[in-house]
Amino acid sequence: MIHPPRLKKGDTIGVIAPAGPPDRTRLQKAISFFLNMGLCVQLGKHIDKRNGYLAGTDSERLEDLQDMITNPAIKAIVFARGGYGCARITPYIDFACIKKQPKIFWGYSDITYLHTAIRQRTGLITFHGPMLASDIGNDDFDYLSARMFEQLFQPTTYTYTEEISPLHVIAEGNANGELVGGNLSLLVSSLGTPFEIDTTNRLLLLEDIGEEPYRIDSMLNQLKLAGKLETAAGIILGDFADAKPKVTPSLPLDKVFDDYFRKLDIPVISGFKIGHCMPHIAIPLGVEACLSSYDKKLIAKPGVQ
């Protein structure tokens, strides 16, 4: 795996919207957050564009991403928001340039598609963490979530225990492996494409928002039938926000999880505050990590060098 270089004060980060259009007020508030960290911020030239539910045309969003990738002055690319649209531009990304000039990529939700493609095409470690207009620019953005950015300035071993949130063991075990995954619906959408998620001997993170239990059931079943669950070394269940059923009767979400994970011979733990939630704990993807049900702990190696 390739570790991106760490940030230092005075560095410039690039901010773009490769999927949905960001709210400008929240975006501007979030920019102040990075300026207060001693960083400079450069916005993509098309970040204010609108094309229905997309932040500009595919060519405009791709151009902003490519500009940030090729610009040696940009040390990190922090995405403004998710939504939908990354998969439309992923086949045209210059992965060779990313590998030649590695830098930090930070985001989540629809950015899961980019995380998976970049890691599997280049070996670069990326970061699953809060974004500008989705999180940082909101009034409820908290101190713990803000501290997650410290790992970009100093190589830091990542440790998640019940000091952060209650954790629930679904299946017992200890496992080591490369930490991968992200948004469940995006991982499912990668199946059958050149960017299909590889879970073999890896610790798989899953999270989502706004999906009813039957929809989560359907997506987990698709991962199961595609052989992505039983080949994993362990499974980390992050936050599943707004997962309440809109119609009854319905299976409760914990019953859905039990159906798919209880009998797996690997550690499976739920309750991680990772995803569309607050606090929003950021983690590096692609690093070696350890998941233990006995200690109720996730430990991951540093993401930067």
Tokens of 144: 């713990």
DSSP structure string for 227-286: T-STTSSEEEEEEEET---SSSS---HHHHHHHHHTT-SS-EEE----SSSSS---EEES
Which tokens is 121 given?
């095409």
- Catalytic residue numbers, as ranges: 109, 207, 276
**228, 230, 287: which is closest to 263 by C-alpha?**
230
Contacts of 1 (CB under 8 A, 6+ apart): 123, 124, 125, 178, 286, 287
CA neighbours closer than 13 Å in the CB half-sphere of residue 35: 9
Distance CA 38, CA 238 (A): 31
3-state secondary structure of 45: coil
Place of tokens 């994970």: 261
CA dihedral 93, 99, 103, 104 (to 10 degrees): 70
Give the Cα-Cα-Cα angle 21, 27, 32 (nearest 5 degrees). Answer: 160
Q: How far is CA 252 from CA 100, 208, 244, in A?
A: 47, 16, 8
Looking at residue 217, its amino acid is: D
Torsion of CA 15, 184, 115, 2, to 10 degrees: 140
